[in-house]
Every structure is written in C-alpha cells, then in structure tokens.
C-alpha cells in the first residue's frame, strides 16, 4: 500500500476514490475495525483492513483487474448508509 499512498493518481485508479475520501471513511469506522495487539501476533492495521474490504467488495473477483462501475456505486451507497447508521 505504500506505493498507492505515494501516488494520488494510482490510489484513485485502484480504489475509485481520492485519498481524502478514504481517510474520511477510515476516520468514521476506525474504532469499529481496529483490533488489539496480542502476544501471538500484531493486528492488521485499520487502513489495510479498509483497503482490502473496499478492493475485494468493489471487484467481482480477487483476480479481476478492472472493476464494474455499477457495482462500485452500489457498494459506495451501501457503505455510506452503514456509516451514517453507526
């Protein structure tokens, strides 16, 4: 993810949103998706959890290179309504 964070254009192509939008969503749900550190292993960072969730839910399959725009819009509207209900 460091390469995506360094380049705003690549970030937008990958997630179909700006870094500011990503940070705004993360700010709203970070407390809900954060996990505690254990003696066995460290938690996955909230940024990575959100990135994986967005990418996997926006695309039909993990190996598909391009996303279906209607699916992205539908997912985005569901995510916004879920965040507003929290």
Number of domains within the chain = 1
Tell me what the mean pLDDT of segment 70-82 comes to. 68
The per-residue pLDDT for 3 is 78
Q: Which domain holds residue 63?
A: 2-85
Segment 4-9 shows an average pLDDT of 83
**pLDDT for the residue numbered 62:** 45
> At which residue do the structure tokens 């209607």 appear?
70
Alpha helices in 1-86 (DSSP H): 2-6, 8-15, 19-33, 46-58, 69-85
- Over the stretch 10-64, which tens digit does the pLDDT of each residue have? 888 888 889 999 999 999 999 888 888 888 888 888 998 888 888 876 665 444 5
For residue 51, the surrounding DSSP H or E stretch is: helix 46-58
CA distances from 43 to 22, 32, 33, 46, 82 (A): 20, 13, 10, 9, 24
């Amino acid at each position: 993810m460091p390469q995506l964070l360094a380049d705003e254009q690549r970030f937008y192509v990958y997630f179909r949103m700006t870094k500011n939008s990503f940070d705004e969503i993360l700010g709203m749900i970070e407390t809900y998706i954060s996990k505690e550190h254990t003696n066995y292993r460290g938690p996955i960072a909230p940024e990575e959890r959100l990135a994986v969730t967005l990418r996997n839910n926006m695309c039909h399959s993990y190996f598909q290179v391009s996303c279906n725009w209607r699916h992205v819009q539908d997912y985005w509207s569901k995510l916004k309504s879920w965040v507003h209900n929290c």
